[in-house]
Amino acid sequence: MIPAGLLVSIEQQLELFTGYKSNISSTQSQGGGSINHAVRLEYAGTDFFLKWNSSYKFPGMFEAEILGLNLLRKTGSIQIPKVIGQGDDTRHCYLLMEYIPQGHPDTRFWKRFGYQLASLHQNTAAFFGLDHDNYIGSLPQQNNESSNWHEFFIQFRIQPQLSMAVDKAYLHKNDIQSFHKLFTKLPHLIPAEAPCLLHGDLWSGNFLCSYKALPVLIDPAVYYGHREMDIAMTRLFGGFHPDFYYAYHEAFPLENDWEKRIDLCNLYPLLVHVNLFGGGYVQQLRSVLQAFVG
């Protein structure tokens, strides 16, 4: 299952990490989403997680993911899988990580998760954005540094995805006009806050519950942004318990009327889903847009 061209490199990484010279003894397919192939593999009696994809289609994806994972881990706020290695051949690139056995949430899991996300969001910077670009899903994400959230949100979140959606003929002239109406209103709709370190793609598929009932974040699209972006994303597809929001708000209170801004913040991930999947996301996007521009 693992591409033959990657095996030597992967086993060399595992030998360096474990200190044992061995071979991959077994693999078991894991959910890798729509972008990656993924397996749990066993080497020298220990399980590891491996994912790979096309190095041509997604150049620099795993390098950017490693930077994001390391940035999140350095905060000490929440558990992040350890990166063991990364490599590629002429066709494929891979990311090798520790394998985290999954468990079930206990009675404290969701509050613990809310407190830990609040702790993560208290890591700040002097700018919105990041010192490098990365990906959200399979789409490039621009992270040009900006001192103004509203400008950053328009120029580096909405506009690139809007242009792509128009090029793909998912959206049209009237949609562009609606977005431009929204842009003039943004400073009055979203309260100013300091840049916060975000996971960037925080839906229910991008966290795990470990066997110790601890939250674990995976597959980040990190940048410094408005923290309501992460909170809103947790509500886009559901799956987060009310205790999560209670604990977050207790630890790091959100501005008044934050729930009224959820759909507004989710215009960005909705545009991403329009460009990835089209279909019903187009009408959902238009409905949200219409609610804010009238």
- Confidence (pLDDT) at 1: 84
**How many structural domains compose the chain?**
2
Point out the catalytic residue in the list 175, 201, 219, 263: 201
| Model confidence pLDDT, tens digit, residues 70-97 | 999 999 999 999 999 999 998 999 999 9
CATH number, domain containing residue 284:
3.90.1200.10
pLDDT tens profile 170-194: 999 999 999 999 999 999 999 999 9
137 and 70, same structural domain?
A: no
Lowest mean pLDDT among 28-32, 64-68, 95-99: 28-32
Is the pLDDT confidence value at 33 over 90?
no
What's the rounded mean pLDDT across residues 58-76? 97
Q: In the listed set 72, 98, 124, which residue is the last one of a domain according to the structure?
A: 98
Among residues 32, 31, 26, which one has the least CA distance to residue 53? 32
31 contacts: CB under 8 Å, gap ≥ 6: 38
Q: Residue 275: inside a domain, yes or no? A: yes
Judged by phi (left if over 0) then psi (alpha if -120 to 50, else beta), residue 238 lies in: left
End-of-domain residue from the set 71, 98, 125: 98
User: Which distant-in-sequence residues (6+ apart) come within 8 Å of 288 by Cβ?
Assistant: 263, 264, 266, 267, 270
Q: Based on the fold, state whether residues 52 and 175 are members of the same structural domain.
A: no
Is 201 assigned a catalytic role?
A: yes
Domain that residue 168 falls in: 109-293
Residues 152, 267: one domain?
Answer: yes
Clarify whether residues 113 and 89 are in a common domain: no
Examine the domain organization and report whether 89 and 227 are in the same domain. no
Domain ends where: 98, 120, 143?
Answer: 98
First vs last Cα of the chain: how many Å apart?
52
Token pair 């949609």: residue: 175
103 belongs to a structural domain: no
Identify whether 104 is part of a domain: no
- The CATH number linked to 24 is 3.30.200.20
Same domain, yes or no, for 65 and 117?
A: no
Query: Are 77 and 133 contained in the same domain?
Result: no
Give the Cα-Cα-Cα angle 161, 194, 239 (nearest 5 degrees): 60
Give the residue-averaged pLDDT of 17-32.
92
Place of tokens 């995976």: 218
Q: Is residue 143 part of a domain?
A: yes
The alpha-helical segments, DSSP class H, found in 124-212 are 149-152, 159-167, 173-189
User: Do 191 and 240 belong to one domain?
Assistant: yes
State the average pLDDT for the chain.
Answer: 96
Within this chain, do residues 89 and 117 fall inside the same structural domain, yes or no?
A: no
Could you list the beta-strand ranges (E) of 4-56.
24-30, 37-43, 46-54
- Tell me, yes or no, whether 167 and 247 share the same domain: yes
Helix (DSSP H) and strand (DSSP E) numbers for the chain: 11, 11
Same domain, 159 and 30: no
Evaluate if residue 152 carries a pLDDT over 70. Answer: yes
With contact defined as beta carbons under 8 Å apart, do 44 and 20 qualify?
yes
Task: Classify residue 164: in a domain, yes or no.
Answer: yes
Q: Write out pLDDT tens, residues 270-283.
A: 999 999 998 889 99
pLDDT for position 175? 96
For residues 260 and 223, state if they share a domain.
Answer: yes
The answer to whether residue 57 is domain-embedded is yes
The answer to whether 174 and 185 are in contact (CB under 8 A) is no
Residue type, 171: L
